[in-house]
Amino acid sequence: MIKYTLQAFLPHLSNPIFAHISEVADSLQYPCYVIGGYVRDIFLERPSKDIDVVVVGSGIEIAKALSKKLGREASLAVFKNFGTAQIKWHGQEVEFVGARRESYQHDSRKPIVEDGTLEDDQNRRDFTINALALSLNKTTFGQLLDPFNGIKDMEDGIIRTPLDPDTTFSDDPLRMMRCIRFASQLNFWIDDDTFSSLERNKERLEIISKERIVDELNKIMSTPTPSKGWVELDRSGLLPYVCPELVALQGVETRNGKSHKDNFYHTLEVLDNVAAHSDKLWLRWAALFHDIGKPITKRWDNKVGWTFHNHNFVGEKMVPKIFSRMKLPMNDKMKYVQKLVSLHMRPIVIVSDEVSDSAVRRLLFEAGDDIDDLMTLCEADITSKNHERKKRFLQNFKIVRQKLVELEEKDRVRNFQPPIKGDEIMKLFGLKPCLEIGLLKSSIKDAILDGVIPNEHDAALEYLFKKAKKRGLVKK
């Protein structure tokens, strides 16, 4: 049960900034309230630094007066076009805005804004749990205004819109993504009427920029159990508008009594497994996309059943296109995800047979500094319901991890470059730039990775001369 007595939340208004705001608001005779996420998080006992203040009057005027009162230690930013202002003071950020009412045109999420009352401002909020307001004026300081029973919804763990959800979502379709994000972050359920409205208004998501959508997706991906958000996106019908490639993973096909797993739910299980061991956002994205190539590569083989040969390489090629369309970053983060998708089958292949030093060296060489993340992903990918098989694979992964440590210490093959460079080869054998040089360098690399020679210059030089002699580059 959430406690919402005055005594319970007054300590959260003990920050000196609230006393200063109260004095300024009273001096200007403006009703003033802290509203939204800061108030919500008081009741949910979550830390919150950013403070939103709504003023029945001019938010900019109060911000300017407060900045003058706080002096040089305060930083003021005014955004006249939006009617808002921001104060930064002692590591605290406070946003000021005048109470307003909004109306929307069907083809845009940008509202037509007019001055309004506190009630108007609360009506325009996305969810009941974000419409709570606490008075900051002296005579009513700390008084809670909860017109939509947001406290009750927090007690019940419910996400619900203040007004008709069809109006709320149609006016600003980004609120549909926020609805699912809050349900995922807070582990709340979406109210039935609100959820039905998500289904009815899903097509409205098309007017929202990809950048806004991916911002909400990153917040979903950063939650302790990100699968919850993706399941809700699927149930509500929003998933095809977000990532149709994930929709293609869904379903189970059976032939001659043999079925493959539902790769969508397998993917979400892997994602949650990774999330349980790592907070790395892009490792989580790699988990989400690790099997993205399976629908394209699915084949039926009369001898072995369903196969997905080379789905990792197909997935690797799909990643840049998906990142580009979704407006995910087309930089080293994309390349990192692409790399893990490409390599995610390699450790599994290794542990399926005898774990050889050569195979482990090559894995370490190709994965480089991302080897630990790759191993985390691959261990998370073992979702077999056969407990003995799962136990055996995970035990073999421990062996691989130990070999990775031992061989890196011994051979230093992580991110290594062959100890003999191309220019040295040209000088030794009087060669100009040509294919022969690349072949010799590759032979040295392969010899090191296969354990034929150590990763040392002298050993590599001796091996080089043997190879060059066989290729007729050294006179007998």
Q: Is the pLDDT of residue 133 over 90?
A: yes
Residue 249 has pLDDT above 80, yes or no: yes
**With contact defined as beta carbons under 8 Å apart, do 366 and 343 qualify?**
yes
The mean predicted confidence, pLDDT, of the chain is 88
pLDDT band for position 129 (cuts 50, 70, 90): very high
Section 186-190 average pLDDT:
96
- Beta-bridged to residue 52, according to DSSP, are 35, 95
Asked whether the predicted pLDDT for residue 105 surpasses 90, the reply is: no
Q: What is d(CA 363, CA 352) in angstroms, rounded to the nearest whole number?
A: 15
CA 230 to chain centre: 12
Residues above pLDDT 90, as percent of the chain: 59
Give this prediction's pTM.
Answer: 0.86
Whether residue 330 is predicted with pLDDT greater than 80 in this model: the reply is: yes
Task: Please tell me the distance from the alpha carbon of residue 10 to that of residue 5, in angstroms, as a whole number.
Answer: 9
Report CA Rg, the chain. 30
Beta-carbon contacts of 437 under 8 Å, excluding residues fewer than 6 positions away, are 422, 425, 426, 431
For residue 8, give Cα distances in angstroms to 4, 44, 132, 264, 322. 6, 12, 15, 44, 47
Residue 441, both tokens: 């360098």
Average pLDDT (125-137) is 95
The predicted-structure confidence for 340-386, as pLDDT tens digits, reads as follows 999 999 888 777 666 677 888 888 888 888 999 999 999 999 887 87
CATH 2.40.100.10 fits 6-156, yes or no: no
> pLDDT-derived band of residue 2, with 50, 70 and 90 as boundaries?
very low
Q: What does the pLDDT average to over 443-465?
A: 82
Q: H or E segment at 186?
A: helix 174-186
Residue 114 pLDDT grade (very low, low, confident, very high; cuts 50, 70, 90): low
Question: Residue 195 pLDDT > 60, yes or no?
Answer: yes
In the predicted model, is pLDDT for residue 237 greater than 80? yes
pLDDT score recorded for residue 346: 86
Least confident of 176-185, 198-207, 256-265: 256-265
User: What are the distances in angstroms from CA 229 to CA 189, 217, 279, 454?
Assistant: 11, 8, 16, 49
Query: Mean pLDDT throughout 380-398?
Result: 83
Between 158 and 120, whose confidence is greater? 158
DSSP single-letter state for residue 369: G
CA dist list (Å): 474 to 421, 456, 460: 18, 22, 16
Task: Sort 108 into a burial class: Cβ within 10 Å, 0-12 / 13-18 / 19+.
Answer: exposed
476 has pLDDT over 80: no
With cut-offs at 50, 70 and 90, classify the pLDDT of residue 3: very low
Structure tokens at 226: 């990100």
Asked if residue 46 has pLDDT above 60, the reply is yes
Intervals of CATH 3.30.460.10 along the chain: 6-156
Q: How sure is the predictor about 95, in pLDDT bands with cuts at 50, 70 and 90?
A: very high
Higher-scoring residue by pLDDT: 55, 435: 55
- pLDDT at position 352: 66
Q: How is domain 159-242 classified at the CATH fold level?
A: Hydrophobic Seed Protein (1.10.110)
User: Cα 36 to chain center, whole Å?
Assistant: 24
Instruction: Say what the pLDDT of residue 1 is.
Output: 37
The one-letter code for the residue type at 232 is E
Beta-strand pair 51-55/32-35: antiparallel
**Where along the chain do the CATH 1.10.110.30 domains lie?**
159-242
The share of the chain scoring above pLDDT 70, in percent, equals 93
Contacts of 27 (CB under 8 A, 6+ apart): 65
* Cβ contacts of 101-110, under 8 Å, gap ≥ 24: 102/171, 104/170, 104/171, 104/172, 106/170, 107/207, 108/207, 109/171, 109/172, 109/173, 109/174, 109/207, 109/208
